[in-house]
Amino acid sequence: MKTPISSWVTHAGREPAEVVVNAMDEWWRNTRTPRAAEVPCHWRRDALHSLVLVHVDRAAHKRRHQPTFVSAAPCDSPGEDHGLTPMSAIVRDDTYGPQPVRIVHANPESAVGRAITMVRGEEGTLAVALATETEFDDADFFDAHRASLVNPLRDGVALAIIHAELQGPEAAHQVMEREDLLRAAGYAAYTIDLDGDDDDHTVHRHLAGLLEDVFDEVAGIKADAAARVLSSTPLWPALVIRTFPLWRQRHSALTAHAAELPLKRSR
């Protein structure tokens, strides 16, 4: 039997060049102008969502994947027009040309559950779900969040990104509880702290490096599945972003507005 060729591969190069980091930061800052409050979609308006968007788009573009971003909050963008991807602006004369941002608003479903559904049977698909910790832990949806629903050989990749909004430092047992819960759902936590102590450029560097680890782990799982050497159900990487009051305060004009968008669920 011929072994299928996977599009998920590791890369020797890791963190982006300085010129790329600077361009990503410029794109991100341009979304944080006073006019951002007029933008109807939080993926363009909210500091955390737009930070995730530009970084995942960079990591996926490097691997020639175009992600679909999923969240539960509704959107009022006319005709679901969310503009072009960040890398369409950053990479000039790209072979693939300008690409529209793909965004799905999952309400009344959960973001992670919708992302998993989207990649079933679509080996080359990347769906990126950003959810709060409360949304991920919701008992009504938790079974739909299990990573074991994704077949590493036949399905694509559903990248879960969990936002833990903290008020202060966590005790060791609280960190372990979160990681144990993620592990029970089939995920391994890759954690970054946005505490306001680091400048934005340092945050970009750390997040870019962490996403390289995440996508390399995905490539490893895919390779092991293709080689039929997976001895057990894999732990898929999940990105955990812990935000703290100082960071949120610096970006309050954006994050506060996003918090006003409630998740409406059908019971």
For 156-168, how does the pLDDT look when each residue is reduced to its tens digit (9 = 90+)? 999 999 999 999 9
Global confidence as pTM: 0.88
Which one, of 250, 267, 259, lies nearest residue 49 by Cα?
A: 259
DSSP state of 124: T
Least confident of 49-58, 81-90, 199-208, 236-245: 81-90
Determine the 3-state secondary structure of 130 from DSSP.
strand
- Quick: pLDDT tens for 81-123: 788 899 998 988 777 778 899 999 998 899 999 999 999 999 9
**Amino acid identity at 176:** M
Q: Which residues are within 8 A (CB) of 248 and not within 5 positions of it... i.e. 6 or more apart?
A: 165, 255
**Predicted local confidence at residue 135, as pLDDT:** 95
Residue type, 242: R
Enclosing H/E stretch for 247: helix 245-250
**Quick one: pLDDT band at residue 232, thresholds 50, 70, 90?**
confident
Q: For the chain, what's the residue count? A: 267
CATH number of 38-259: 1.10.357, 3.40.50, 3.30.70, 1.20.120? 3.40.50
100: which DSSP letter? B
Task: Say if residue 253's pLDDT is above 70.
Answer: no
Report the run of H or E that residue 21 belongs to, with start and end.
helix 18-30
Mean of per-residue pLDDT scores for the chain: 86
In this predicted structure, what is the pLDDT of residue 261? 38
Q: What is the pLDDT of residue 262?
A: 41
